[in-house]
């Protein structure tokens, strides 16, 4: 053993002078690195999947909120239309005179044409 590290020296069959030396320590470190990267990749994949599920859940919740707000808005518009009709009814005629100042000009024009 040289330098206290175990190694394997493989040689090719034949007259080729190519030799491959694998250090056992490096091999273990390489395996640990590959396992570590695989576990990290798997954890990130799980986090992404969880986030996508949460986004879908939040999107559904937002769509429900939008539907509720649209219903409330439609109800409010109906209430406003009813109040506008009431004001138009009350302000149109009190006796013979209209309380709506914009309609005075129309009546005067009608009276002059007679």
**Region 37-58: what's the mean pLDDT?**
98
pLDDT-derived band of residue 40, with 50, 70 and 90 as boundaries? very high
Share of the chain above pLDDT 70, in %: 61
pLDDT at residue 86 tops 60: yes
User: For residue 16, what pLDDT is reported?
Assistant: 59
Q: Looking up tokens 């030799």, which residue turns up?
A: 19
Whole-angstrom Cα distance, residue 51 to residue 24?
A: 41
Most distant pair of Cα atoms in the chain: their distance = 127
Helix%, strand%, coil% for the chain, nearest 5: 70, 10, 20
Instruction: With a cut of 50, say whether residue 39 has pLDDT above it.
Output: yes
- pLDDT of amino acid 35: 98
């Amino acid at each position: 053993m040289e330098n206290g590290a175990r190694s394997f020296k493989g040689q090719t069959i034949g007259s080729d002078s190519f030799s491959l030396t694998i250090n056992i320590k490096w091999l273990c470190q390489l395996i640990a690195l590959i396992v570590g990267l695989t576990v990290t990749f798997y954890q990130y994949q799980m986090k992404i999947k969880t986030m996508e599920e949460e986004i879908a859940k939040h999107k559904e919740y937002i769509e429900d909120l939008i539907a509720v707000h649209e219903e409330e808005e439609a109800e409010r518009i109906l209430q406003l239309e009813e109040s506008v009709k009431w004001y138009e009814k009350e302000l149109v005629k009190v006796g013979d005179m209209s309380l709506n100042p914009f309609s005075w000009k129309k009546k005067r024009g009608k009276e002059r044409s007679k």
